[in-house]
Amino acid sequence: YLDNILIFSKIIDKHRKYIKAVLDTLYTYKLSVNKEKSKFYIRKTVFLRYKISLGQIRIEPLKVKAIKN
């Protein structure tokens, strides 16, 4: 059982190859992906409470507020 998989690359052709490799590996080990929960080719996301975008990784504002208080 896997909960989250994050694939990052700067070049779209490499990204396609990485996605295919991950999906092929999951298939080999009889693991599946929930299409409704999957997001492909996005430029920003929140992952493990970090805001990730091209060239940036930031802590979520609520987490920063909790640390400051």
Domain segments of the chain as ranges: 1-38, 43-69
DSSP, collapsed to helix, strand or coil, labels residue 50 as strand
Instruction: Give percent above pLDDT 90 in the chain.
Output: 58
pLDDT at residue 61, as a whole number:
75
Segment 17-34 shows an average pLDDT of 95
- CA distance to 23, 61, 64, per residue, from 35 (Å): 12, 29, 32
pLDDT at 68 over 80: no
Q: Which of 34, 42, 30, 43 has its CA nearest to residue 4?
A: 34
Cβ atoms of residues 45 and 52 within 8 Å: yes
